[in-house]
Amino acid sequence: MNACIRAVVRTANYNGIEVYGAIKGYEGMIDGNITKLENEDVANIIHRGGTILQSARSARFREKEWRSKAYEQIKQKGINGIVAIGGDGTFTGASIFGSEFDIPMVGVPGTIDNDLYGTDKTIGYDSALNTAMEAIDKIRDTANSHQRLFLVEVMGRDAGFLALRSGIAGGAIGVLVPETSGDKEKLFETLRKGWTRTRKSMIAVVAEGEGDGAMALAKDIKVQFPDYDTKVSILGHMQRGGNPTCGDRVLASQMGLAAVEGLMAGKDKVMTGLLGREIEFVPLDQSIKHHKDLSNELVRMVDILAS
Select which of 31, 88, 102, 113 is catalytic: 113
- What's CA 69's distance to the chain center, in Å? 29
Write the CB contacts of 142 (distance below 8 Å, at least 6 apart in sequence).
Answer: 148, 150
CB atoms within 10 A of CB 241: 12
What is the rounded distance in angstroms from the CA atom of residue 62 to the CA atom of residue 58?
Answer: 7
What is the rounded distance in angstroms from the CA atom of residue 215 to the CA atom of residue 198?
Answer: 27
What is the rounded distance in angstroms from the CA atom of residue 264 to the CA atom of residue 256?
Answer: 13
What is the rounded distance in angstroms from the CA atom of residue 17 to the CA atom of residue 11?
Answer: 8
Instruction: Tell me which DSSP letter residue 79 carries.
Output: -
| 303 counts as catalytic | no
Dihedral-angle region of residue 212 (phi above 0 means left; psi in -120 to 50 means alpha; beta otherwise)? alpha
What is the rounded distance in angstroms from the CA atom of residue 269 to the CA atom of residue 224?
Answer: 51
Give the catalytic positions in this structure: 113
